[in-house]
Structure 1
Amino acid sequence: MKETRAGLGDGIGAYLLWGTFPLFFTLIAVANPFEVVSWRVITTLIVCALIVTVTRRWDRIVSVLRAPKTFGLFALSSILLYANWQIFVLGVITGHVLETALGYFINPLFTILFGVIFWREKLSRLQWVAVIIAGAGVLFSAISYGRVPWIALGLAVTFGLYGVVHQRIEHVDGVTGLTVETLVSVPIGLVQLAVVASVAGLSAFAHGGVITSLVLVSGLLTAIPLILFGEAARRLPLTYIGFLQFLTPILGFIFGFFVMGEELPLARWIGFIAVWIALMFLIADMVVRLRRAPDPGTAHQPHTGPIPLD
């Protein structure tokens, strides 16, 4: 029970912190979103390097770099992660917080679909119902509203594929994995900084000390919930993690709708409601599977799925 309580505390803390990211990036909305992500990647690598040094894990980093297959998978996952971060920050800074929330609401459904596509998994009836309802809702919303929710779909696809890649990676802890991913991502970020500098000029540090501090601390805010999540995943059943993951988009929706006052036309409401109904079916399926589990002791297996880093 002590382990479960500690795991719940860590998990809730991680997902609550991820849920505050729309507020955080709204505070630095004066900066170019393409510049912000580059600095986020660079500062995240600095934080990871400090953690790896303190915990003496550099031998693990070297082992990954010397394993071509593992390093190749991390290189691919880093590109997907970078794209996910860029889409999220771009969505928040340009005032599309609700669409980013929709993306993370539908992410579990994309994860299920990718399981069918890449792992030949079979869907239960409740899962099929969930996928069909969500798909119909998003399609109706796009047709009625006149615009495809590219930000939401982009977030769901990139993070879903990120999970697919990570399922191929074994025996690598979260901090080591994130360090390798940011090592690969930093050159991309530097190239992006050069492009932004030549086109629009760098401005992230030209808006006063507060904005500068927030930009520099973005790497730390990326690492903290990741560490908390790792502890939660080690202590909690996968079903608990599945329920907790909905905290982040719920907070994003509350922030976008009630705090930022973003408009939500009827067509978009229909899309959200359809996705929420689909998630109810998905949660029901999770509960049924949990009750059918033959051995309660197996519920506390370590988490091997994708790590949500946004």
Structure 2
Amino acid sequence: MTYIDRTTLDAKALKDKILKLKEEHSAVILAHNYQIGEVQDIADFIGDSLELARKAANLDADVIVFCGVDFMAETAAILSPEKTVLLPAADANCPMAEMITAGELRVLKERFPDAAVVCYVNTSAEVKAESDICCTSSNAVKVVESLDEDKVIFVPDRNLGSYVARFTDKQVMPWEGFCFVHDRITPEDVINARKLHPGAEVLVHPECRSEVVDLADHVYSTSGMIEHVCKSENKEFIIGTEVGIIHRMKNDCPDKLYYPLSDNAVCITMKRTDLQKVYNSLESLTPRVTVPEEVAEKARLAIQRMLDIK
């Protein structure tokens, strides 16, 4: 008797239905590098926050299905207000983005009126609207260096702010937010991983603590990591970021070996999107993400200033 893997059949059927609905709705699926493998595999474009922001701004589509977290879908809605932007997992929030509010930022601006405000894209639309310019982990140093002001309020990630401060003479004043996935990685994790894999390069994300960054061979955004491993002559890598990226690395550079720096580096909200939710979202065209125009107009300026930096 031949065994039929019903799970595989269901996944294939879902993929076929998703492809059909995509065509019907003139839709494009964007997925962050941290998404689960089956979602990455169905996506039209995979990338980090900067790549997906650029893609969202220039897509020829009526519907954007954003497989990521809330602030990413908000950014797409701000950049493409004429499009229908869907977030398949309505509860896929970013805990770090919730660590700073627009009200708290206004207080900071009053306290330091001569400082520019740089906000990480991992923030709400309301916080972006109160900021001078946005940044991502891949361009944060370049963004800060582009400013005329000598003082910079940097929200919300203290670790990324500290990393940026290494490469600029400007006074960087970081907020006390953090990514729980990266902040929980410890120097001991690096030491133990090197013992287990002595020939492997250690790559970490700049959202990690300074003492972890100090022990790494290289510090990159997620797409920076992917570019590095594909170009490097080295064959083994210890990956210090959310473990979902390893799926893409294995697809892009299958002849190399990848080890997570920490098995605990899992963003539970990034994992809330699956094929069933992508299908449900395309079928119903919900949950839709919108941003009030009075907020979007101001936030758009901060995002566009970032995108204008090459």
Q: What is the TM-score normalised by the length of structure 1?
A: 0.24
Q: Which protein has greater RCO, CA pairs closer than 8 Å, 6+ apart?
A: 1
Q: What is the TM-score normalised by the length of structure 2?
A: 0.24
- The structure whose residues are more often helix, as a share, is 1
